[in-house]
Amino acid sequence: MSKIKILSEHLANQIAAGEVIERPASVVKEFLENSIDAGSEQISIQVEGGGTRLVRVIDDGAGMDADDVLLCLERHATSKLSDTDDDRQLTSISTLGFRGEAIPSIASVSQLTITSRTEASDLGTCVVVKYGKVMKVHETGCGKGTVMEVRNLFGNVPARKKFLKSNRTELYHIEETIKNYALANYYLGMTYEVNNRTVINLPAQTDTLETRTRKIFGNITARLIPVEGNTGTSNGSDHVKISGYLLLPGELAATSAKLRMFVNGRAIRDRMVIHAVKEGLANFLMKGTSPSGVLFISLPPDSVDVNVHPTKQEIRFHKANAIHQLVVSSVRNAIEQHQEYLKFSVFGAPDSQISENNQIKGAEQNTFTGNNWGQQGLPLARSKGSKSYPKPFTSRRNPSHGTNVPTTETPFINDIPQGHNTSPSANADHSVPETITGETSPSEYGQEQRPEVIQSLNPIGQVFDLYILCESKGTPESSFVVIDQHAAHERIIFENLKKQFSEKNVPSQALLFPKVLEFNPSQARILEKYEELITLLGFRIDDFGDGSYVVKSVPAILAHLTVDELMAGVFAEFSMAEKEASGQNISTSNRFDGVLSAMACKAAIKAGRSLEPEEIESLLEQMQESNVFSHCPHGRPVIKSFNADDMKKWFYRT
């Protein structure tokens, strides 16, 4: 006698339920998908007792007639494949459901009541199912659409029920599910009640993706960064489209940060996409934080497999590499665009106006011939040449008020440690005469008027020797702007370094007294392995034999550091970059960013340094000339703006 037996339908459904219905949130997910597939405009979700006592989903969609209300309880019954024999359909599905598995699965592990009516009939149908068995079917008066009601979920499978977490955790998962569908279908009206208390209430038809994103992420008021991208021919079989909004890095606490991703409208989990977004945000995202926002990827249904897992949250892209690249470039592009937005909103000067002032910049650079700073576009503060500047802050925009401003001896960029002016010997090993001669005598541009590049940003002053306060008459409104001086300067230097590095043009400074040092074998290994990169950074180090080396040149922007400090930095940064790249070649552009940002950090003006008014002005000008300044290269924000409304709130003014 044969030993093999066919499972009963009921058992098969329970097994399927084990895969598809993990927890109450899975019930919500399946019901929401069905309601959306049915073309609903308004969906209400009601939950009691963490979802095990009750999940009710009410929609105003197409509904089901009497036959379908019963048929949908059958395994593999679906209205979403027109020819159930044609397997090609599986590759071109545009509905969220198609397996015909959810309802029989749910019915097998709960008490399910379905009430539904189509437009065509006056009366609806109600069916009551208890743990897989139909108990009652009757006609009923009801609105058009469907009410799915589940009670006592897992009531007949105590082992599964025991696996559930606390009500709070289950409610969290339900809310996350609802938020995802509320984003992917931002035009849908949705309400969510827990124990009769309204938790979510979103209007039908009025939201845009942007306004809905703000609501879902907790009423964000800061700017959202739009992300757009495309590959392939539009509407072609290779067309991939990316769209969405990212929250500004650093805008949310790490705990509420979350990237919600959708592929063809389906919420998915995918590490490759997260990785791509992180790569796109490289240098803008703080270590240990994750990107936040919504990202939609639409692509031809046959270029993605959504049938990898019964819950359809894991998917497989056929051309994963191309998607990765597209996401990276779209996110990069978005953050670049954000810089322009920020520049305009803070400085109010479109790029064209900046270039009109190019003559002034050019003239300035000429006076710096022979000085690396000038070539870097990072001129010293106009400490020497600002004689004709008006008194800072108050009358700056009015050169005719110009009275002499006392010169400062402290070069702005070179954040030279205390010893710089007082004890030249402290850095004697770096003193190279010709690089210092770049300092311009006042007369060279002393008569020049201050370039009126900054149209709308008025510095008020500095607080805590760290923050520059300004009033911005920018676009679209005036605001109070706080700038972190170190972070701002660090980003500017970083961008310059990156550019110079990629152009193999990092300014180097020859040491007046080359320094002989001994390095241990692991240090010597780094020197040897990365000789080319280290040279590109502006170092010149020759092998002196017997484990000693002679350092002849150093990067100009770090010339204020001692050779020992510099070399310690080189070894530390290269080992770290090596570790982070975990064996991969660190010479690829991004992987090297850590070393460059460490250099930028050392070169940038320190937090805790009191700035002269001209230095503040110089920093603001450099920010305006720089293409990127929203965040420091470690991802900390550079600028915070508060508009009049924000400030009114501080004081409870309405």
Ligand X SMILES: Nc1ncnc2c1ncn2[C@@H]1O[C@H](COP(=O)(O)OP(=O)(O)O)[C@@H](O)[C@H]1O
Can the peptide bond before residue 476 be classed as cis, meaning omega within 30 degrees of 0? yes
CB of 102 to Mg ion, least distance (A): 4
Give the one entry of ligand X, Mg ion, none that residue 59 binds, where binding means its C-beta sits below a cut-off of 5 to 8 angstroms depending on kind: ligand X
The answer to whether residues 214 and 294 touch, using CB atoms and an 8 Å cutoff, is no
Does 78 participate in binding ligand X (rule CB under 6 A)? yes
- Residue nearest to ligand X according to CB distances in the complex: 97
User: Which amino acid would we find at residue 149?
Assistant: E
CA atoms of 6 and 8, how far apart (whole Å): 6
CB of 341 to Mg ion, least distance (A): 41
Does 312 participate in binding ligand X (rule CB under 6 A)? no
CB of 84 to ligand X, least distance (A): 11
CB of 56 to ligand X, least distance (A): 12
Give me Rg for the CA atoms of the chain. 32
Q: Closer CB to ligand X, residue 78 or residue 435?
A: 78
Does 127 participate in binding ligand X (rule CB under 6 A)? no
CB of 31 to Mg ion, least distance (A): 8
Q: Closer CB to ligand X, residue 26 or residue 618?
A: 26
Taking the alpha carbons of 279, 280, 281, 283 in that order, is the dihedral positive or negative?
A: positive
Three-state SS across 229-276?
EEECCCCCCCCEEEEEEEECCCCCCCCCCCEEEEECCEEECCHHHHHH
Q: Closer CB to ligand X, residue 79 or residue 91?
A: 79
Binder of ligand X out of 98, 347, 494, 574 (CB under 6 A): 98
Does 34 participate in binding Mg ion (rule CB under 5 A)? yes
Q: Closer CB to ligand X, residue 114 or residue 297?
A: 114
Stretch that binds Mg ion, among 28-36, 84-92, 114-122, 228-236 (CB under 5 A): 28-36
CB atoms within 10 A of CB 295: 24
CB atoms within 10 A of CB 15: 13
Binder of ligand X out of 29, 99, 258, 343 (CB under 6 A): 99
Q: Which of 301, 288, 277 is nearest to 95 (CA)?
A: 301
The answer to whether residues 460 and 469 touch, using CB atoms and an 8 Å cutoff, is yes
CA atoms of 73 and 101, how far apart (whole Å): 9
Q: Closer CB to ligand X, residue 77 or residue 286?
A: 77
Give every CB contact of residue 326 below 8 A, 6+ residues apart in sequence: 229, 230, 231, 240, 242
Binder of ligand X out of 80, 361, 606, 609 (CB under 6 A): 80
Stretch that binds ligand X, among 14-22, 31-39, 46-54, 265-273 (CB under 6 A): 31-39
Give the one entry of ligand X, Mg ion, none that residue 126 binds, where binding means its C-beta sits below a cut-off of 5 to 8 angstroms depending on kind: none
Stretch that binds Mg ion, among 99-107, 230-238, 329-337, 508-516 (CB under 5 A): 99-107
Could you give phi then psi for residue 441, rounded to 5 degrees? -75, 145
What's the chain's length in residues? 654
CA atoms of 462 and 346, how far apart (whole Å): 17
CA atoms of 141 and 124, how far apart (whole Å): 6
Does 124 participate in binding ligand X (rule CB under 6 A)? no
**Token digits of residue 269:** 């989990």
Give the one entry of ligand X, Mg ion, none that residue 251 binds, where binding means its C-beta sits below a cut-off of 5 to 8 angstroms depending on kind: none
Q: Which of 482, 473, 458 is nearest to 395 (CA)?
A: 458
CA atoms of 96 and 32, how far apart (whole Å): 10
E strand or H helix that includes residue 614: helix 613-625
User: Which amino acid would we find at residue 313?
Assistant: Q
Give CA separation, 67 vs 71, 116, 117, 128, 408, in Å.
Answer: 6, 11, 11, 14, 88
Binder of Mg ion out of 61, 97, 538, 637 (CB under 5 A): 97
Binder of ligand X out of 12, 18, 79, 395 (CB under 6 A): 79
Q: Which of 44, 43, 31 is nearest to 96 (CA)?
A: 31
Binder of ligand X out of 38, 267, 273, 497 (CB under 6 A): 38
Does 390 participate in binding Mg ion (rule CB under 5 A)? no
Beta strands in 507-589 (DSSP E): 508-518, 540-545, 548-555
Q: Closer CB to ligand X, residue 70 or residue 416?
A: 70
Stretch that binds Mg ion, among 95-103, 191-199, 422-430, 505-513 (CB under 5 A): 95-103
Does 313 participate in binding ligand X (rule CB under 6 A)? no
Long-range contacts from 362-369, C-beta under 8 angstroms, 24+ separation: 363/445, 363/448, 364/445, 367/440, 367/444, 367/445, 368/438, 368/440, 369/438
CA atoms of 143 and 296, how far apart (whole Å): 33
Q: Closer CB to ligand X, residue 115 or residue 231?
A: 115
Q: Closer CB to ligand X, residue 93 or residue 537?
A: 93
Does 146 participate in binding Mg ion (rule CB under 5 A)? no
Does 61 participate in binding Mg ion (rule CB under 5 A)? no
Give CA separation, 36 vs 93, 178, 208, 408, in Å.
Answer: 14, 12, 18, 67
CB of 61 to Mg ion, least distance (A): 12
Give the one entry of ligand X, Mg ion, none that residue 72 binds, where binding means its C-beta sits below a cut-off of 5 to 8 angstroms depending on kind: ligand X
Does 13 participate in binding ligand X (rule CB under 6 A)? no
Q: Closer CB to ligand X, residue 91 or residue 395?
A: 91
| 144-183: contacts with ligand X (CB under 6 A) | 146
Q: Closer CB to Mg ion, residue 34 or residue 231?
A: 34
CA atoms of 510 and 433, how far apart (whole Å): 10
Binder of ligand X out of 29, 30, 242, 601 (CB under 6 A): 30
Does 97 participate in binding ligand X (rule CB under 6 A)? yes
| 48-67: contacts with ligand X (CB under 6 A) | 59, 61-64
Q: Closer CB to Mg ion, residue 93 or residue 282?
A: 93
Three-state SS across 70-108?
HHCCCCCCCCCCCCCCCHHHHHHCCCCCCCCCHHHHHHH
Rounded to 5°, the CA angle 542-543-545 comes to 150
Stretch that binds ligand X, among 95-103, 281-289, 320-328, 483-491 (CB under 6 A): 95-103
If binding means CB under 6 A, how many residues of this protein chain bind ligand X? Answer: 22
Binder of ligand X out of 24, 100, 348, 402 (CB under 6 A): 100
Q: Which of 232, 318, 337, 345 is nearest to 280 (CA)?
A: 337
Does 102 participate in binding Mg ion (rule CB under 5 A)? yes
Q: Closer CB to ligand X, residue 103 or residue 620?
A: 103
- Residue nearest to Mg ion according to CB distances in the complex: 97
Q: Closer CB to ligand X, residue 311 or residue 575?
A: 311
Stretch that binds ligand X, among 15-23, 74-82, 504-512, 577-585 (CB under 6 A): 74-82
Give the one entry of ligand X, Mg ion, none that residue 240 binds, where binding means its C-beta sits below a cut-off of 5 to 8 angstroms depending on kind: none
Contacts to Mg ion by CB under 5 A: 33-34, 97, 102
Question: Residue numbers of the site for ligand X (CB under 6 A)?
Answer: 30, 34-35, 38, 59, 61-64, 72, 77-80, 97-103, 146
